[in-house]
Chain A
Amino acid sequence: MNIWKWVIDRHDRLDEEGHSELAGLIYDIALKSDDELEIVDQIFHQAIPLCRSLEDKWLELYFRHWRLQAYILKNYEAKGFLKEAISLLDFAYTEDTNECPQRICVVQDLAACYGIKDGPGYVEERVKVCKETLEQIDGSWACYRCIGSELIEAYMDAKQYDIATTELATLKKELHKHDQTDADMQLTQAELLIETGQIDAAWDFIKNATNPDGGDSYDVSLKLTKARILCKQKNWNEVLKICPSYEYISKFAKHFNEWTDIQLQLVQAKVVTNDKSLRFRFHKLSNDLEQKGANRISFEVYERLIELCLLTKESFRAEIALKRMKSLCENFHRDMGAKSVIHQLDDRIRAITISNEQVNFKNADELIAYEFATETAEILALNAAIEHWPENVDLLVRKCKLYDACFEKEKSFALLSKAYEEHESSKLELEYGSAFIKKHGFEHYAQVFSMLEIEGFSKKRIWNRGFLHFEQLEKTNKTEALKVLKQIEGYWSDDVYLMDKFAQTFIALDQYKEASIYRQKQIEAEPDNIDHKWDLLISATLDDNVGIIVKTAQALEHSVETTGKFHEDNQSLIRIKTINDEDEEQLLIAKRIGPVLARVETVSHITDESQLYGREIVFDPRSLNQLDQIDEEGRACDIEGDYTYLYASIKILHSSPYQTFTIDGVHPGADAISQLIDSLEKSGFVFDLRYDDYYPLYWKEGVDTEMEANGIYAYILVNPNSSLETLNDILSSFNETIEHPLIWPKLSEHLEDIATLQKQEKIAEKYGITEE
């Protein structure tokens, strides 16, 4: 059975039928499943709705299987994906899918899930499933190798190496019978040889192994297998050379087990230093495996971590690891000697005699700055210090962080909670409050840590609680955020940072007068800080407070007129970056008419909901670019070659927007257009040519005469004070003077001038003018 045939056929058919997006994803998911989990997920979420829209259950099965492969086999995500594996099994054996060759692979997904959850514990069940499945297929199936490997691994988990060897030989024979490669089984065979003590044979077997389809993941597995053989041969230098780094293997859970095994041997051979960092890494890997539900492997990595701890008399971390092992033991399907391992380790940890690191700390700060060699030394010192300086919360916080570093988040949180109850402390207010928000969310926090219950708190504590509230509320409810600031202000009225937060919040609430008051307070507090003056200009401009604008601009040595704006001669072109209604960044050309005020010169596209031309924008005067480059002609420009400063928009002022209308038709010639522009401008209309150069129009004169001429398409912007009728009159009069009439359907529609509109429709039809 060529399992890929239907996939390839389906791919080609999808391509032919115009579903090239889904077709492309078919190969992508299989190619990325080895090493690129994030991309697998992206492809999966994109592909499934497409499969469902085509009601293609085989393909849905295919995509779901490959995602499981990536998550289960490569990343050991047993906990999160067992339900999906079961659901997929159900899906794979229905009337619609039971002819799909991929259904067989789903059984492997499920078996592998149990293998990862508790390999030795589920040996019996896994063997049964694999054998049952192998009986349904032969060596010509690609999944014969996968199920076969699963079977061998099950026997190896049970340490039944003889049976594994026999079964492997049978599997390979079957594969060869069907001219299939057994490259996927190379590593399994090498592992089997290692486990049966045939080290040299294992090396000979694996030294030149390659699997061109294996990806990076195969290369890492190969290196780890080679490193394990070299460990057995005590060839430590070569092990160091070949063993992949922690940074690399930490991305793929399937490598954690072998890597920790190799590292422990390197430590025992005194080739690698058994330091805090290495123990933390082991702890991180075992904790990650535990979170993924890879219980048995996590158990084994914890065991190795304890071995590292025992070598350095690190009882603190060892006890934590042992606790986790006991908890994992509860989840095993079958014990398989786990309890006995725990008992032995327990005894060995108890037997550790700890020689306390003899450091005499004069004060708590000295201890906090000290770098301990082990966590045990640190916890002992901390406990002693806490007894000595019970009121020192820095010590308590440090102790919590130590538990955090040992993945004891609950313990850390409980300690913080207890310390918070027992001590009045601003630091704990912040630390415990932050931890509480992270754990329970802000809503719960706000109930427990109300701003109404701060009486008797120290100033600093009020600040910390207040800002924990403020930082959350300012994202969702500015009015409530302001109330919090006011409560803080009762205790910190002269704080410049608080004033800044007030001003920002008032601006967000469109209360500009109040914002200006706080900006002025900032200036009083820090008169030399010119940023405060610019900030005041922003709030004053938003408030249209000319007096403050003039005074502040003068203080900044900017000359403005009594209107608070620059003289026309001093108005320069700038660019403004703003966010439009579509949540997209827009860059607008504008005239800087005041210190922080600009008028837009860019004519927006007619399809844009609001015409920004002529609108005034208050902007942040701290430019986003620097004109620090020189162009070929020696002019100053920014890195993108722009000659103007770019500023971020703060607010587009609510002036009435211009309306935009279009004219379209055969170009009446430059002189005629020039006259039209004159008449329009005299009446206060803005003419904006959109295109004429590359706008050919074709029409017929008489029966057969083909005509061609350049067209013109332009916007006419009308400010709210101008009359649309006047515009209509100007255009109508102009039309009488030219050979080929122009059209302005949008204006006619607006004026409900049906007769003109109908006339223009005919003109549009004649000249082949299509609506934009």
Chain B
Amino acid sequence: MTDNSIQKTTVNLDGLLEILGKNLYSSPNIALRELIQNASDACERHRIESKETRQYSIRLKCNDETQQLIISDNGSGLSKQELQEFLATIGSGYSRVLRNKTGSKDIIGYFGLGFLSAYVVAKKVEVVTTSYKSPNETWKFTSTKGKTYSISPAPNSQVGTTVTLYLKDEFISLSHASFVDSLIERYCCLLQIPIFLNDFEDPLNNLQPPWYEEENTPPIRRRKLALDFANVFEDTFEPIVTFRIPNNNELDLKGVLWVQGGSTYASSDNRNISVFIRNMFITDEDKELFPSWAGFCGGVLETNKFQPTASRESLQKDDYYFRVKSYLNEFLASELRRVALEEPAAWRRILSRHNQAMLGAAISSDRLFETIHKSLKIPTTEGDLTIPSLLKRSENKIFTKISSQSGHEEILFRARGIPLVKGYLFASLGFCQKYHAVHGVPIETIGTKSSRETVFPSHPPGSYEDELLFRRLFESEKHEVTFTHFKPHHIPLLVIEDADVITKKRIEDDEADQRISSAALSLARLETKQLDAKRERIIFINLENNLIKKIPYLEAAKQEKIKKLLISLMELLCLEPSHQDQDLDVVFSQFNSALLFFIENGTS
């Protein structure tokens, strides 16, 4: 037989509190934020419902001897019925009711779970409250562990609420003034109602967000205030330039963003963003709100439109979240663009600290690229250069290298004084590729087949006999000869490895069967079989070189000696990197004239 009547479920409040305390909030310190938020909402409720103006305040008292934390406000207070309805019933908050009713942006609470956090940190909670609706009645609510409660009349006090937490031993830190001070600074620094601690006369939260400044504040002052404000939130890198989100934007978003005054590495992601909802701190973990290229930026955002999660420690990834993300991407790009155009001193400060990171930013943002591409410096083998300087020195082409190791092709560039962009450093290759895509300037990465065709144009020798001679002299099982001409003419030849052929040989070698599984190897061989070239090294012979020109006129023995000399020189240059730090142009010149002398004088 089944019982179809509706039954109430039973709740194990002890267990529930433990679960909520441990899982809903990442830190029980959040309890303080939640209770201050309740106090703030009570003040706002009073302002809305009583139509009365008063100087609202929240007062905290910490007593580490008695292990108490007391939070008082002079807001609306609660009637007996409200005490029962809102404090004694978990999940039922008045804040949401009131916000929905009035549309007030200053009411913070959402889930009615805030008061629950008190039970997480306190063994006993006492609330003494006087409602503005019945100022002659004061009620005392007492609850131990939240399981039972009592409400009794109390001696009449002024309108408002005082919550006393008798802290559990493990949360005794909440009764230490210095600790509470630090929590208030973190969570409540933007709250507009002053919060006083113990007997201090000055409120703890006296930070004035720049978006509340009067519109006619002079821009210079506004800038200084924004910088001071940003400094409060930026622990690691002092802000150097700030951008204020314009008021009245379509997202109803307020905030200040900034560029940090330092960084760890160009690729480091130091995005630092603090999010407040209705002036209450929610999270500084949502750095994805900034574009990923903005690893050198920080910001504070405040809005009533973000939807927090139940713990109010993170944001829901809803449509609004993504709209803000997209807005911030555009905003940061356009502000950096504006600074580049209008504020040369600030722009210099940014560049001196974040040049390489800005290369990355320019790759990701077309608008930013368009404005700043000329002022960014690219790391090259001839020092850091701007694009105009680079193009001036490399005949309006961009040559890059993607390995930090030097090869023969690089020798040529160094001898010519043509800078090679260090493509292996953060963002430099991508930036050049973008410049190529936008401005059509040719870009070549040395070591690739296409760059070789540009650097070493094909140029057959004058006669078939000469060609045969050079092939006989220089070609081998490993070496292929290509005839070309290049500057400077005193470099006779260069030897370059063909990476594709090397891979092909390794993949097709029987030895590969021993180490790579057969199906994968077969798949790889499908591709390598299509490659015709067989020799691993290509010797580019410079037919404009005087030495090379003389070779056909030498006797066979000398030809062989010259060939050996040349090849060994090239090997030496390749294998001995320390030599490459010398002035190669001079080395080649001397080498060339010495050999010429040797040939012309006919000594062996």
Contact = CB atoms under 8 A, between A and B. Distances in A.
B518 A132 contact: yes
Q: Which of A46, A126, A472, A637 has the most CB of B within 10 A?
A: A46
A94 interface: yes
Interface in B507-530: 507, 512, 515-524, 526-528
Contacts of B15: none
Contacts of B377: 583-584
Contacts of A128: 519, 522
B520 A640 contact: no
Contacts of A630: 218
Interface stretch (A31-39, A315-323, A485-493, A704-712): A31-39
B15 to A, nearest CB: 27
A90 B343 contact: no
B264 A39 contact: no
A57 to B, nearest CB: 14
A32 B218 contact: no
A49 B523 contact: no
B404 A125 contact: no
Given A38-B430, A582-B383, A639 B267 contact: no
A43 B343 contact: no
Contacts of A49: 403-405, 424
B467 interface: no
> Taking each of B266, B351, B499, B517, which has the highest tally of chain A beta carbons within 10 Å of its own beta carbon?
B517
Contact of A24 (B268, B424, B430, B440): B268
Contact of A39 (B293, B389, B403, B440): B293
Contacts of A110: 520, 523-524
Nearest to B293: A39
A180 to B, nearest CB: 23
B557 interface: no
A239 interface: no
A442 B397 CA distance: 11
A536 B364 CA distance: 42
A229 interface: no
A41 B346 CA distance: 29
Interface residues of A, number: 66
Interface string A61-95: 00000000000000000000011011101100110
B265 interface: yes
Contacts of B440: 438
Given A32-B292, A631-B218, A587 B344 contact: yes
B183 interface: no
Nearest to B357: A42
Contacts of A98: 515
B220 interface: yes
A624 interface: yes
B503 A83 contact: yes
Contacts of B221: 632
A266 interface: no
A53 B515 CA distance: 26
Given A21-B265, A582-B383, A83 B500 contact: yes
Contact of B515 (A20, A28, A94, A438): A94
A642 interface: yes
Instruction: Label chain B's interface by main secondary structure.
Output: helix
Interface string B28-45: 000000000000000000
For A38, A111, A114, A128, the residue with the greatest tally of chain B CB atoms inside 10 Å of its CB is A38
Nearest to A125: B523
Given A39-B292, A49-B424, A87 B499 contact: yes
Nearest to B531: A83
Interface of A: 20-21, 24-25, 28, 32, 36, 38-39, 41-43, 45-46, 48-49, 52-53, 82-83, 85-87, 89-90, 93-94, 98, 107, 110-111, 114, 122, 125-126, 128-129, 131-133, 136, 333, 438, 441-442, 472, 475-476, 577, 582-585, 587, 624-625, 629-632, 637, 639-642, 646
Interface string B245-282: 00000000000000000001111110000000000000
9 contacts: A45-B429, A52-B403, A90-B506, A114-B523, A133-B517, A475-B391, A475-B392, A583-B383, A585-B347
A252 to B, nearest CB: 15
Given A45-B425, A86-B507, A132-B517, A632 B527 contact: no
A129 B384 CA distance: 47
A93 B517 CA distance: 9
B516 A89 contact: yes
B136 to A, nearest CB: 52
B60 to A, nearest CB: 36
Nearest to A642: B345
Contact of B520 (A46, A83, A89, A583): A89
A110 B527 CA distance: 11
B223 interface: yes
Contacts of B526: 114, 125, 333
A107 B522 CA distance: 12
A634 B208 CA distance: 24
